[in-house]
Structure formats: C-alpha cells, structure tokens
Chain A
C-alpha cells in the first residue's frame, strides 16, 4: 500500500511538472496557396456569364492556420485554404445580381518534422479535408429597368438552370445561399527556414484530393445541382509565414 502511494505521488508529481517545465509550442501561420482547379461550371457556362476568372479568383488560395507542437517532432493543427470570387452576373433575364463564391478547404493536419540544420526544417503533412463551397446571390430586381414582377426566386432558378438543374424552386426564403460539403485528403512535403527562432517561412508542395460532386449542393434544405468543378487530384503549393507564439 505504501509503495502504491509513493508510486501515485511520483506519477502525480510528474503530471504536474510536465506542463510547468515543458514548453507548449503554439504557432500561427498566414500565407497563400497556389493550385489549378477546373471550374467549368463557371468558366464554360453557356447561360450565365460569371465574373471572368483570373489568377486571384481561380488559382490563389488564402491560407490561415494554427498548430500545436505536442511532441519534439510532431504537431497538429487547423488550416484553412480559401478561394474567393465576387462579381456581378450577366445574362440574367431581368436583373444583374451580385455573386459571391467561396470554397474553403478546412484541414486538420498531422505534421511530423525534423531539423536538417539549426535554421532549416523539413516537414511531412497528411490531412483530412472538410471542404465547403458556398454561393450567394444578392439580388436587386428593383434596380433593373424592367424589374416588376421579377423575384429573387427567378434569379435563383436561372442560376441553378445554368448548372443543369431542371427542378425549379417554388419560393426562396430570405437566407439565400447554397452550399455543399465534401471530404477529401491532402499530403504535403514542406521546407521551413527560420529567420528568427520564432519566425519561419514555410514552403510546401503536395496534392489536394476532394470527393466533390456537383449534385450534392443544398439550397434551403433542398438538393440542387451546383457548378461543375474538378478539384480532385490537383497539385497544391503553399507559402506562408509562421509565427511561434510560445
């Protein structure tokens, strides 16, 4: 019994001392990614003229992440790559709604690493992805010259029709965004150079694989067809600035 108490005290002391003497390492990073998806649903749409794609709206991803180093050679974290597109839609019968499109690749990476030199690190990342696409229309029918009788439902039906959806909506409530969720995974190899012990520049190269399907979109509880996107098996590159908080 005495021995057990001693054992318990030692273990308890160890548990208490580990957080005191261990240095939990939390870091945040900010950067951007580069990839090349095929967005045929927007770029080759015959019925609606979406905003012309450029490198910022098609190839650049804005990246934010935070990591916790739980081991000398491993860290886990949360990382988001975000693609944004904003513009006015042309080709609608009576109005020119403002169109917002975001695609978020939310990652929960597990990263292992080692230091090649005191300032150079190589890292290896595998991560599941929870992807989410969102399309919003801001319709102003009254602003069109002949906007009478034209409703937000008509605009949505025209948009969905352009994606190949042949089941028109009856009524649209005030919340007017359609969205889709999917899963995927990604793997990346990274090279990090520390310019200060707590600041590093991280370059990663890898791939992105998403199980996106254009018929899995939802609009106010109803299944609708979304744009045709090819975002599976694409190479991904990222460059970011890492700041170790503690």
Chain B
C-alpha cells in the first residue's frame, strides 16, 4: 500500500507538474516580436527566426500589420542611420574602386588592338 501511494505520487506528479501552456491569444505579444521591436529582426538568434516568422505572420493575420511594418521600418532606419555616411577609410576605398572601374571601361572602349 505504501509503495502504491508512493508510485501514485510520482506518476501524478509527472502528470500534473506541467500546466498545459495557455494558447497565446495574441501572437503579437510573442517574445520574439517584442525583441525584434527593440533590437531588430537581424538581432534575433538564428534558432528563433522560424518562431519569429511564424509569429509575425500570425500577428499580421490578426490585424497587426502596422506593428510588423513598424519593426521593418525601424530596422531600415537603424541600418540607414548606421551606414548613411561612409566613415574613415571606406570613402577613399570607394573612390579608388570607382576610379579603377571607370578607367577599365574607358580603356575597354578606347583602346584598339
């Protein structure tokens, strides 16, 4: 009897230890979406990307298009802000590349064999 009660406690413990996860009523409250809102989609770990894409799709279906669009706009603006101007040596490099290509095509057109 003692062992029966003991094993029942163990079995029931396994059965009831985890409450069934409540179905998310609103996919727009998914943590991945909250994270993407704050840091951008590219900041999400790769393993969370499928979850984000699923949640964002569901969120859009539930009328959260504006929220998802805002995440994208924020990310575009963040990237734009970061690389709007060329910093340091990058502009010199860009100019060198442009000059090399320009002279290559000028040579290609003008030089006759």
Binding site for B on A (CB under 8 A): 23, 25, 71-74, 110, 112-115, 117-119, 121, 124-126, 187-189, 194, 196-198, 205-207, 233, 235, 244-246
CB < 8 Å A-B pair total: 91
In the complex, whether B60 has a CB less than 8 A from a CB of chain A is no
In the complex, whether B2 has a CB less than 8 A from a CB of chain A is no
Inside 8 A of A25's CB, which chain B residues have their CB? 42
Question: Digit string of B28-68 for contact with A (CB within 8 Å is 1, else 0)?
Answer: 00000000000111111110000000000000000000000
Known A-B contacts A198-B42, A235-B105; A118 and B79 likewise in contact (beta carbons under 8 Å) = yes
Question: Is B86 in contact with A112, judged by CB distance below 8 angstroms?
Answer: yes
Inside 8 A of A115's CB, which chain B residues have their CB? 79-80, 83-84
Count class of interface residues, chain B:
20 to 34
Question: Is A189 in contact with B97, judged by CB distance below 8 angstroms?
Answer: yes
Residue in B40, B76, B77 with the greatest tally of chain A CB atoms within 10 Å: B76
Question: Is A246 in contact with B46, judged by CB distance below 8 angstroms?
Answer: yes
Known A-B contacts A23-B40, A189-B101, A235-B108; A113 and B83 likewise in contact (beta carbons under 8 Å) = yes
Q: What CA separation (Å) do A188 and B96 show in the bound complex? A: 11
Known A-B contacts A112-B93, A118-B80, A126-B97; A73 and B87 likewise in contact (beta carbons under 8 Å) = yes
CB-based nearest A residue for B43: A23
5 of the cross-chain contacts (CB-CB < 8 Å) are A23-B42, A72-B87, A196-B72, A197-B75, A244-B42
Inside 8 A of B44's CB, which chain A residues have their CB? 246
In the complex, whether B6 has a CB less than 8 A from a CB of chain A is no
